[in-house]
Amino acid sequence: MEKKIAVFPGSFDPITVGHVDLVKRALPLFDEIIVAVGINSTKKYLFSLEQRLEWLHQVFEAEPRVKVDSFQNLTAHYCQRIGARYLLRGLRNASDFDYEKTISQLNHIVGGGIETVFLIAQPEYSHISSTIVREIIIGGADASPFIPREISIPGQVPAK
Ligand code: ADP
């Protein structure tokens, strides 16, 4: 039977405990999940692509069914290239829904039937976003409650 591969695309700038929770909850649904950093040349990132990929590798190191990759241009074309028929995304609130709905409809058309599987964020993670974590880091506060324990952010005291 064909391997069920899902791509979890994002910026992961940086990866948060919310992202990790989503991947863990989605693992029973797929044979393999590819956490893929989308490279958008017009977007400004706080952390370099290399740094973000290194963190993803560290966080998912112990899970053989999770792979880490990066891609340029359209997510749907990347999925087709690697033989993934599913996309994984999280929904935290109504604005995530509004945004994701259009993207998922477009990906279905452009990607020749790619289905996006959405998981609703768990209540304890639904307030966590990379944007908030970046602000905490830039503001010099402790971001450790929001980032996976496997990684350490430069300038931040490592989690115990
Ligand atoms: P993007 O730049 O594409 O928004 P992100 O790295 O911010 O990428 O997020 C990638 C995906 O992870 C999105 O589907 C987002 O909804 C989901 N996500 C982010 N934070 C959480 C969270 N706390 N709980 C569940 N899903 C989340």
Q: H or E segment at 15?
A: none
Q: What pLDDT score does 7 carry?
A: 98
Structure tokens at 64: 């053989």
Residue of 49, 52, 89 to test ligand 1 pocket, by largest number of atoms within 8 Å of CB: 89
How far is residue 101's CA from residue 118's CA, in Å, rounded to a whole number? 10
What pLDDT does residue 153 have?
85
Residue 50 has a pLDDT of: 97
Over the stretch 91-146, which tens digit does the pLDDT of each residue have?
Answer: 999 999 999 999 999 999 999 999 999 999 999 999 999 999 999 999 999 999 99
* pLDDT, tens digit, 9 for 90 and up, residues 8-54: 999 999 999 999 999 999 999 999 999 999 999 899 999 999 999 99
State how far the Cα of 124 lies from the Cα of 36, in Å rounded to an integer. 24
What local confidence, expressed as pLDDT, does residue 137 receive?
A: 95
Q: What is the largest CA-CA distance in the chain?
A: 50
Kindly name the residue from 43, 44, 81, 160 that is annotated as catalytic: 43
43 is catalytic: yes
> How many angstroms separate the CA atoms of 69 and 113, rounded?
22
pLDDT tens across 65-101, in order?
Answer: 999 999 999 999 999 999 999 999 999 999 999 999 9
pTM of the model: 0.95
Query: Does residue 156 carry a pLDDT above 90?
Result: no
Residues 42-53: tens digit of each pLDDT: 999 999 999 999
Cα–Cα dist 96/109, whole Å: 20
Quick check: helix, strand or coil at residue 93?
coil
Which candidate, 28, 42, 31, places its Cα nearest to that of 7? 31
**Residue 129 CA, closest ligand 1 atom number:** 20
CATH superfamily of 5-146: HUPs (3.40.50.620)
- What is the CB < 6 Å shell around ligand 1? 10-12, 16, 18-19, 22, 89-90, 92, 96, 121, 125, 128-130
State residue 49's pLDDT score.
97
Q: What is the pLDDT of residue 140?
A: 94
